[in-house]
Amino acid sequence: MQAEELKKRIEEGVPTAQASVKGDGDHFEAVVVSPAFEGKSMVQQHQMVYGSLGDLMQGAVHALALRTFTPAEWEKQIH
């Protein structure tokens, strides 16, 4: 599994998401920003991302460190 493939799966599975994924093999770190996260708890946001990865989480991806943000939350992070 490659980081680019994970990025693609997340962006296809989470509405209007922008993802940044680092790592290789089976350990990855992802930052995902999407307006679809608005009004959702962190657990719900993470469930959306895990849902987009489906069966990859059962085998190809051993560990995923995940950080999710709405666009407004992301703006605060980068300033």
Decide which of 26 and 12 is more confident: 12
Structural domains in the chain (count):
1
Render pLDDT for 15-69 as a digit per residue (tens, 0 to 9): 899 999 999 777 899 999 999 999 999 999 999 999 998 887 777 777 889 999 9
The CATH number that applies at residue 31 is 3.30.300.90
The pTM for the full model equals: 0.89
Q: Which residues of 32-62 are buried (b: 16+ CB within 10 A; e: fewer)?
A: bbbebbeeeeeeebbebbbebbeebeeeebe
By residue range, what is the domain housing residue 58? 3-78
Confidence of residue 77 (pLDDT cuts 50, 70, 90): confident
Which stretches within 1-79 are classed as H helix?
3-13, 42-53, 71-78
